[in-house]
Amino acid sequence: MLDDVIEKLKKEFIDKLKEIKDEPSLLNLKGEFIGRKRGKVKDLFKELGKAEPQERGRLGQAINSLKTFIEKSLSEKEKEIKSKKVKTDSEDYTYPGFRIERGRKHLLQQVMDDVMDIFLKMGYHIETGPEVETDYFNFTALNIPEEHPARDEHDTFYLDYEKGKDKYLLRTHTSPVQIRTMLKKKPPLKIIVPGKVFRKDEPDDTHSPVFHQLEGLVVGEGISFADLKGTLITFLKALFGDDIQVRFRPSFFPFTEPSAEVDVLLKGEWLEILGCGMVDPAVFSEVGIDSEKYTGFAFGLGIDRITMVKYRVKSLRYFYDNDLRFLRQF
Ligand code: DAH
């Protein structure tokens, strides 16, 4: 009689096992049949006491082998469920990940930041001004009146817009921010002005209708040309290295007097880097600064030009083509 019960239980187990598709129901099935306290197999062992004494040994073995069968089947089913899980899961954690590309600053911005860092360490403050400027700030206030030949060198993009008598244009240099700052703040002043400037130039290896400048202006009592030289030599050595040579050449700018251009000797070649000079008294009088009391110096450097020299870039076009093969090199 117990033989039949054992056989029935085995069948019941096999049928139920076929329906099992996940781990939680597998665990339930395990508890139902071979649970330590209340499993159906445990109950069979209790029945053993009611069997004929000479049958007990054989029946005990039969129950034990059912238990073993159940344990083995359960662990096989468990393996099967686990292997299927990996295959059917929508996310495969063993699949190689995607590489996340990190962006970087454009080379011109890197150089602009390096240049600004040097001046910030020397105690300069940053000022900015509008890219759409008036004729007055861009030229007249800087001692470049109408009909002045210096205007021809700045091939200007004029805007189709006038307000009063003033014409609007895209600024051709960052120097108008000198004027805006001096009108707004009292000396002493020590500022740098980073920014985009625009000229109607045909693009080629050394020209671009948009490029970048960094303007500098220092105004105070007793500021001399020696301060100008010391500042710019310190800056150029910080940027290009201590072993470079620097040369000041006399030049002309309407808003500085005297004026100079500065060259740097790199690998046997003199390269023009910037323009500078002592602020012209005519500029001070335009903004109401007493030129008997105050003096000052100013400078303007071309960031694109410096970048070409420093990184040996042959053409300005590379900066504006946005070709990643170029940009990723820096
Ligand atoms: N604004 C000049 C230019 O774009 C550069 C320059 C020269 C700026 C001399 C200055 C300066 O402040 O003192 O050509």
At the second CATH level, the architecture of 107-131+173-327 is: 2-Layer Sandwich (3.30)
Q: Give the Cβ contact number of residue 218 at 10 Å.
A: 23
Mean pLDDT of all residues in 252-262 = 97
Using one digit for the tens of pLDDT, what is the confidence trace for 161-190? 877 788 999 999 999 999 999 999 999 999
- pLDDT of 89 higher than 80: no
Please check whether residue 201 is in contact with residue 208, taking contact to mean a CB–CB distance below 8 angstroms. yes
Q: What is the pTM of this model?
A: 0.71
74: Cβ below 6 Å to ligand 1?
no
Mean pLDDT of all residues in 132-158 = 91
Q: What is the distance in A from the centroid of ligand 1 to the CA of 175?
A: 6
- pLDDT of 319 higher than 90: yes
256: Cβ below 6 Å to ligand 1?
yes
Which region among 57-61, 98-102, 175-179, 277-281 has the lowest average model confidence (pLDDT)?
98-102
Tell me if residue 219 falls in helix, strand or coil.
strand
240: Cβ below 6 Å to ligand 1?
no
231: Cβ below 6 Å to ligand 1?
no
Q: How confident is the model at residue 86 (pLDDT cuts 50, 70, 90)?
A: low
Residue whose CA is at the smallest distance from ligand 1 atom 7: 275
Residue whose CA is at the smallest distance from ligand 1 atom 5: 300
215: Cβ below 6 Å to ligand 1?
yes
Query: Of 143, 169, 175, 190, which is best to mutate to test ligand 1, by the most ligand atoms within 8 angstroms of its C-beta?
Result: 175
- pLDDT of 88 higher than 60: no
**What pLDDT does 19 receive?**
92
- pLDDT of 269 higher than 80: yes
Q: What is the distance in A from the centroid of ligand 1 to the CA of 286?
A: 18
Can you give the residue ranges of every domain in the chain? 2-84, 107-131+173-327
Cα–Cα distance between 66 and 41 in angstroms, integer?
8
Contacts (Cβ under 8 Å, ≥6 apart) of 94: 86
**What pLDDT does 35 receive?**
87
Mean pLDDT of all residues in 271-288 = 97
Q: What is the distance in A from the centroid of ligand 1 to the CA of 247?
A: 17
- pLDDT of 257 higher than 60: yes
Mean pLDDT of all residues in 280-295 = 98
Most confident residue range from 22-31, 145-154, 259-268, 283-292: 283-292
**What pLDDT does 1 receive?**
79
Please check whether residue 309 is in contact with residue 117, taking contact to mean a CB–CB distance below 8 angstroms. no
Mean pLDDT of all residues in 4-10 = 92
171: Cβ below 6 Å to ligand 1?
no
Residue whose CA is at the smallest distance from ligand 1 atom 12: 299
Cα–Cα distance between 232 and 51 in angstroms, integer?
110
Cα–Cα distance between 47 and 133 in angstroms, integer?
103
138: Cβ below 6 Å to ligand 1?
no
Ligand 1 closest atom vs CA 215: 12
Please check whether residue 180 is in contact with residue 160, taking contact to mean a CB–CB distance below 8 angstroms. no
Q: Residue 278 to residues 55, 140, 228, 229, 312: CA-CA distances in angstroms? A: 120, 18, 8, 11, 31
Q: How confident is the model at residue 39 (pLDDT cuts 50, 70, 90)?
A: confident
Cα–Cα distance between 139 and 152 in angstroms, integer?
11
Q: What is the distance in A from the centroid of ligand 1 to the CA of 70?
A: 92
124: Cβ below 6 Å to ligand 1?
no
276: Cβ below 6 Å to ligand 1?
yes
Q: In what order do the strands lie in the sheet with 269-279?
A: 125-126, 189-198, 210-220, 295-302, 269-279, 256-266, 245-253
Residue whose CA is at the smallest distance from ligand 1 atom 6: 300
As given in the structure block, the two tokens for residue 157 are 């993009």
Q: What is the distance in A from the centroid of ligand 1 to the CA of 241?
A: 24
280: Cβ below 6 Å to ligand 1?
no
**What pLDDT does 29 receive?**
92
Q: What angle do CA 256, 262, 267 make, to 5 degrees?
A: 170
- pLDDT of 281 higher than 80: yes
